[in-house]
Amino acid sequence: MLVNKIPYYIIRSLIFTVIIEFIVALIIGIRKKKDLANVILVNIITNPFVTIIPLTLNIYVSLNARHISLFILEILVLFTEAIIYKFVLSYKKLNWLLVSLILNLSSFGIGEIINKLL
């Protein structure tokens, strides 16, 4: 991977993440516009970190460093988003940690499948 491709991967990752998590949020019953907007905004804040750091490590260090950082960052994002959801979502059918887990597992899993296909 070339350094000049990083912006492309960041934008692609963010777009796919927002679309996937928006659809999954609808599937689990999040319907209020404010809640859906918050799901999008939270991803706009957290997704670039989870994309930029592993990509950069992959280029300058190693693939193993990328995998390790991705694992750590995904866990940090899971809990960070869960805490944010606790305070900003009016949706209460599922626990805020479960909402974060479902959304993040969905976007990560589907994202991995999409990346294999592209």
pTM of the model: 0.91
What's the rounded mean pLDDT across residues 28-45? Answer: 98
If you count DSSP H runs as helices and E runs as strands, how many of each does the chain have, helices first?
4, 0
Q: Residues 55-77: pLDDT tens digits?
A: 888 888 888 888 999 999 999 99
The residues near 115 (Cβ < 8 Å, ≥ 6 apart) are none
For residues 103-107, give the mean pLDDT: 97
Give residue limits of the domains in the chain: 3-117
Token pair for 110: 């589907």
Residue 1 has pLDDT above 70, yes or no: no
